[in-house]
Structure 1
């Protein structure tokens, strides 16, 4: 591409991919159909799990759009892996003054780029579009949590940032290997630098909730370790926007469980029975809370019973592990 062609590119889209071919194909289809002049934007696919399948998929789309555009680029990200590292590699390869971020499981509306760019003015450096996560009237607990994504103040699944701001802030902190932590960290650093995030509700990206395996939250809870890092970097904003207080309910459940097991081991059966009853009541309360307003299918109810019993000790473990790893007083 010549320097003259480079000058036509108004915005670079960074799209991290991680081996989900069907989702990536769907997202690329939406990006190729943007109402913006195809010559005025580029799409940079950053492969966070470099493989020939992703390369061939991108090459196929490039062949189909070679004559009309947009410019389509494949970038391998051999490491370090994670959404933050992938997005950093993407925006550093960008040619435009504006960088748009989305994800391979999002489906941008046809006028997404046009609406996002239209929201900028001389005093606006960052714009966040609107996310829609359609869920059933009676969602699962996972679907309800994902639906809350619509209310996020900032998400890299739908945001636009001036390249100069990314250069100045050095982009995403690659120590966060999950999107929530890296997104919140960048958002907080922008706010602490006096950079406000403008809203562009017309810049829509639909974010369908993907099916997850039964009990997936038991594996995902390990990401709580990064909450300690986020708290260490931004203690005030963390308490204002993430957790106004520690999750004492989890600590109370774990304390009751430890007291019950310890009393039983020492032969104090009445104390063990009392602590066990407290653990059972608190766990039942948590389960009822998780089921409130959600689907009551046998499979989902069983999942909530099991995860309500196992999540509190796992959550406490990973939060304390984070506090030790990052040397911060965090609970």
Structure 2
């Protein structure tokens, strides 16, 4: 994608009537249309929460629609979705990238928004995203708006610790969707569980059908390489069920690491500069242990352990300030599991051929 977008499908600033100028009815009629796409697979435990939040928006009901794209669920997801009267499309055996594209193909709106089937959005979500997009009406290189994702208030204490840790620089590598950023800014990528796109961007670009994890990072990398940006607003947050156990944390981060390595190998470039650090740390630890064993002197391993303890102490303090609980003492364990899992996955992604 090399040409500047000319706003073909988008409706921005000038076409949106300001509140109170011509009355509520006129404003509602001129609000941009939005298609919200939810990709799901075997999500009976959570998808009802997602759809309940989407069907209770302050945005005019006749100006947005909800489309659920299912990858071939076998757990009754279809029956749950039917209770909410939204459109339900099935792409049997399709990955996340392909399902997102099916939703894009179905959309005929000015904007396309995405959230995930383990999320819940605030009632003002669409209003906030569309209003924020309108502030960039004169910038054709801003193609979308996104925000952070946070644990549900009802999630377990462990899940909330994971969320707080991922809000630190060591937990996210300053990825905007996870890192605790306090001001609006332009970024190269946002999370697809909380994003609204100008539909015009999809006239010339799509998600990669073959990418099942990290599909948003891959698409946004291509957009970023062409000069496009997203507005990240920390006030537009969605609730997201994060890893509830150490095992789930391991599996998720291992899959993230594998996906990021494969995507970067395909493009021949670093998409996220910090992505190789966990694997490098694992390799450095093995090399340090081997060197200490060979010389029968404990020199390098204690140094690496001290560095880890310093980083863990910093992250623990940050999490304690955020959560105010002694359970913050578990942060070094969460830190170690997340980095080891991501590092192992990244190494696998570099060495194992794509399926």
In structure 2, the residue matched to 1:5 is none
> In the alignment, is the contact (CA less than 8 A) between 2:35 and 2:107 conserved in 1?
yes
> In the alignment, is the contact (CA less than 8 A) between 1:253 and 1:282 conserved in 2?
yes
> In the alignment, is the contact (CA less than 8 A) between 1:127 and 1:200 conserved in 2?
no
In structure 2, the residue matched to 1:77 is 91
Give the distance between the partners of 1:97 and 1:301, measured in 2 at CA: 43
* 1:165 pairs with one of 193, 197, 201: 201
In structure 1, the residue matched to 2:111 is 98
Aligned residues: CA RMSD: 3.8
Give the distance between the partners of 1:220 and 1:166, measured in 2 at CA: 29
Q: Tell me: CA distance 1:58–1:122, structure 2 relative to 1, closer, same or farther (3 Å).
A: farther
Specify every segment of 5 or more residues in structure 1 that has no aligned partner in the other structure, as ranges: 1-7, 63-71, 264-270
Q: How does 1:1-331 map to 2 (within 5 A)?
A: 10-51=33-74, 53-62=76-85, 72-81=86-95, 83-118=96-131, 119-120=133-134, 121=137, 123-124=139-140, 126-133=143-150, 140-141=161-162, 143-145=164-166, 148=172, 149-151=177-179, 153=187, 154-169=190-205, 171-178=206-213, 181-200=214-233, 204-223=236-255, 224-232=257-265, 233=267, 235=269, 237-239=271-273, 242-243=274-275, 248-258=280-290, 271=294, 273-274=296-297, 278-279=300-301, 282-283=304-305, 285-286=307-308, 289-290=311-312, 292-293=316-317, 294=319, 297=327, 300=330, 303=333, 307=337, 312=340, 316-325=343-352
Give the distance between the partners of 2:331 and 2:281, measured in 1 at CA: 20
Give the distance between the partners of 2:165 and 2:227, measured in 1 at CA: 33
Give the distance between the partners of 1:209 and 1:10, measured in 2 at CA: 28
CA deviations over 1:217-270 (Å, ceiling 9, x no partner): 43334321222233332625533xx4596754322112234557xx6xxxxxxx
Which shifted more, 43-52 or 130-139? 130-139
Q: Tell me: CA distance 1:115–1:250, structure 2 relative to 1, closer, same or farther (3 Å).
A: same
Give the distance between the partners of 1:307 and 1:89, measured in 2 at CA: 35
CA deviations over 1:98-140 (Å, ceiling 9, x no partner): 2111112222222221232232436446222322525879963
Q: Tell me the TM-score normalised to structure 2 length.
A: 0.68
Q: Tell me: CA distance 1:117–1:140, structure 2 relative to 1, closer, same or farther (3 Å).
A: closer
Aligned length: 292
Give the distance between the partners of 2:248 and 2:166, measured in 1 at CA: 13
Give the distance between the partners of 2:326 and 2:87, measured in 1 at CA: 45
User: Residue 207 of structure 1: CA displacement?
Assistant: 2.1
